[in-house]
A and B are shown apart, each in its own frame.
Chain A
Amino acid sequence: MKKKKTTKDFGYILCIFTALFILALLLTTVKELAPVTAARLTDCNARIDAYEGDLEVAKASGASEEDITYLTNQINKYKARADMLQHRDVYYYVSMGFLLVLAMFGSVIQFVSTASFSQNGQKTYKYYPFFSAPLCAVCILLAIGVTYRAIFGVTLTDLVMLVGAVGVGAVVFFVYRHAPLIIARLSHTRLGNNKKVSVADVLFFLPVVGILGLLAANLLFGVTINGAKLWINVMGIQLQPSEFIKVLLVVLLASAYGKLWKAVVAVATGGITILVMLFLHDMGSAIVVFAMLILMLFLLLDNKITFSLLFDHKKLLTIIMILSVLAFFFALTLFPYALERFSNLGTAMEKDGQQAEILRALIFGGVGGLGIENSSYLINIYAIDCDLALAGLTAVFGYGMLLITMLCYAIIIIIPIRKIAVHREYYFATAQVSIALFVQVLFNALGAVDVLPFTGIVAPFISSGGSALVGFCAMAGLVLATLHPVVKLKQREV
């Protein structure tokens, strides 16, 4: 039998190029990072020695308990920093090595066909994956993120988080590839003797339960840090439920079509999420979720099936969208802290806080950036590796690296426009991920430089924060799954 490959594709070459880029970035950074690490280590050891000397003197002279505690704390702080610096380079190498392997894996997987079908028993055509570009974009973003965060410190926890996040993304990828087929199968299976309700209808509520459960956990067991109750402690690890809620919302909103009650349930869940997030002082996530909801309503404009009994669903949806925007702004007025963020716009330089610091760093850095060697002082800026990540990245590495980052984001964001979605559910999912990424990037980049409200939104794949990294890798998994869906069910007897 003559076999013919259906594709002439050079996706694998792109993956190899990506691996080479990661290697080049690693080599460049190592060259600059090593002397900085050595200098800072010497500085730390000198400080530890000095503080230990002070401590001995204080103890001998019978100083107050407060002074002794302060000195002990300082010693512990610098010891921890010295410890981190000693292992930083190793963890950084391993992280980059892991991403390099991931990119190489991406090139190998291009050759693995996942389905085949024959025509008149003559030729066999194979079905190959098509996701090399977004996979490479994610790899490059993760590599840039790891490199950027390495300047401020990498620990074993960060490495584990990175590997864990990619692992979660892979699991989401494998599960979501099967999702539409499994749901389609289950839509025939009725629940017990009930004629109307299918198992697929029950499955629809899984993300709803997940979202409401996470919101409830956040409300009940939330830990307040800096006025925002965003974290919960699970076995000593701080998790940010809002990041997982966003992923579940992507799945929920993507599947909420075809029946009116599904759309209503999805919109209601989104509305509750926004209100709870605003209540928990998480304005950033509330904005992202709001954008996702509006997009969902917009996409439903074209979906007649959902509104089978409504004569003019387009007018209705337009009115709902306008009302939603008004309701969102009304909801913001209920929370004074949210309004404050808006009224603070344009006052960054007057306040001389962290935004002013980053703006100065951007100016000093210029087009080429400060370079790793000159960026040590940025470590004192509080949110440098999370809320100010994109601005910080530009300040350190220059506008060239920012352009690479933005182009990588653009690759993922334009997928719903550029790619063929095999299932409508997949089209919705990619669109939701797009809008979530777009809003996050927009608010992170422009919030830091005082153009938009500074709302504590992290930059996807770049910022530190385990939950966010896991959330975005899961979203990347969703997008990759939509580009490589399962097309084959088990063989049937004819």
Chain B
Amino acid sequence: MLYFLTVVFGLIIAFLMFFQLHNEKRIQQKQIKRLFENLIINVYCGGNTAPNTTFAPDIKYNIVSTSITLGKFTDGQQHQIDLPITTTDNSLAGTAAVITTIPSKSGLDISISCVEQPYIIVRHANPTEGQCEFEYNLNKEQKKLQVKTIRGERRDPRVAENYTFPFEPYFLGTSLNGKALGFNPISFEIPVKPGDEILLGNTLLKIESCLEG
């Protein structure tokens, strides 16, 4: 009888565990949401800002207010916040993305997901078939990247919404220290570290802090 009761008790606990697992997930979701609410990206645009860029100097972005969703967070790794950049000569339109530890205003470092090195993604506005060129200035050093492009077969639905490319260019290879992405649009990752200053067109991005190097 005692043994029977023990088994029944064990089964009740086992089922409670499933309930608890569900409960913990719900609480964790709330907690992560709150974690995001408290995080402010410290990448800001300042210095040599052109008058008609969409950046205001010293903008601080709240992650929750952007399109970042908890669903995206679930699979870890990539948290990117798209900050539209339009430069005066329209030679370079793109997005800056930060994949990094993001410190809150209070100065507390909270790592979300940053096993890979933080980097900024730059996209090419007017890709041409055959070859594309990226120009940027990293820490007052002018850099140029030439990338071979080929015509793709499939459109990326995300791109179709925002851009109208005549074709879908893919990367073939890259010559600089950046890592090429296999999906369109033509983009280029510039690895960054805290203290780096990147000049894209007329927009200066200053990486104030990411993971401590």
Contacts and interface: CB of A to CB of B under 8 A. Distances in A.
Interface of A: 6-11, 14, 17-18, 20-21, 24-25, 27-28, 31-32, 115, 117-121, 125, 127-128, 130-134, 136-137, 140, 180-181, 183-185, 187-189, 195, 198, 255, 258, 302, 304-305, 307-311, 313, 371, 397-398, 400-401, 403-404, 407-408, 410-411, 414-415, 418-427, 486-494
Contact of B116 (A258, A302, A418, A493): A258
Interface centre among B34, B37, B104, B182 (most CB of A within 10 A): B182
Interface string B78-116: 100000000000000000000001011111111111111
A188 B117 contact: yes
A188 B193 contact: yes
Given A118-B104, A400-B7, A488-B108, 19 more contacts: A6-B34, A10-B23, A14-B13, A14-B17, A27-B2, A28-B3, A121-B106, A127-B35, A133-B21, A137-B14, A137-B17, A140-B10, A140-B14, A309-B182, A400-B8, A418-B22, A419-B25, A420-B29, A490-B109
Nearest to B192: A188
Nearest to B12: A17
B74 A11 contact: no
B99 to A, nearest CB: 10
B86 to A, nearest CB: 27
A296 B3 CA distance: 42
B173 interface: yes
Given A14-B17, A117-B110, A492-B109, A24 B5 contact: yes
Interface string B195-213: 0000000000000010111
B109 A491 contact: yes
A382 B117 CA distance: 53
B112 A422 contact: yes
Contacts of B11: 400, 403-404, 407
A173 to B, nearest CB: 17
Which of B13, B27, B115 lies at the interface centre, i.e. has the most chain A CB atoms within 10 A of its CB?
A: B115
B211 A188 contact: yes
Nearest to A6: B31
Chain A to chain B: the 10 pairs with minimum beta-carbon distance, closest first:
A188-B213, A424-B76, A407-B14, A400-B7, A489-B109, A424-B77, A494-B107, A404-B10, A130-B24, A133-B17
B211 A21 contact: no
Among B18, B28, B103, B213, which residue has the most Cβ atoms of chain A within 10 A? B28
B41 interface: no
B165 interface: no
B76 A25 contact: no
Interface residues of B, number: 68
Interface of B: 2-11, 13-18, 20-25, 27-32, 34-35, 37-38, 73-78, 101, 103-117, 170-171, 173, 177, 179-183, 193, 209, 211-213
A487 B110 contact: yes
Contact of A184 (B17, B104, B115, B179): B115
Given A24-B9, A422-B76, A184 B107 contact: no
Given A6-B34, A424-B115, A487-B110, A419 B2 contact: no
Contact of B38 (A20, A117, A258): A117
B14 A404 contact: yes
B107 A424 contact: no
B108 A491 contact: yes
A400 B183 CA distance: 53
Contacts of B76: 421-427
13 contacts: A25-B10, A125-B34, A131-B24, A137-B17, A180-B115, A188-B212, A309-B173, A400-B10, A411-B14, A488-B109, A489-B212, A493-B107, A494-B106
Contact of A398 (B7, B18, B25): B7
B13 A420 contact: no
Interface centre among A14, A120, A400, A404, by most chain B C-beta atoms within 10 angstroms, is A404
A445 B106 CA distance: 53
B37 to A, nearest CB: 7
B116 A407 contact: no
Given A118-B38, A401-B10, A308 B181 contact: yes
A187 B115 contact: yes
Given A184-B211, A418-B22, A425 B115 contact: yes
B179 to A, nearest CB: 6
A254 to B, nearest CB: 10
A91 to B, nearest CB: 21
B23 A9 contact: yes
Q: Counting chain A CB atoms within 10 Å of each CB, which of B10, B18, B170 scores highest?
A: B10
A344 to B, nearest CB: 34
A419 B173 CA distance: 38
Contacts of B183: 304
B25 A140 contact: no
A189 B18 CA distance: 42
Nearest to B100: A184
A323 to B, nearest CB: 22
Contacts of A133: 17-18, 20-21, 24
Given A7-B31, A136-B17, A492-B209, A401 B113 contact: no
B20 A308 contact: no
A418 B25 contact: yes
Contacts of A11: 20, 24
Given A117-B35, A188-B213, A407-B11, A9 B24 contact: yes
A408 to B, nearest CB: 6
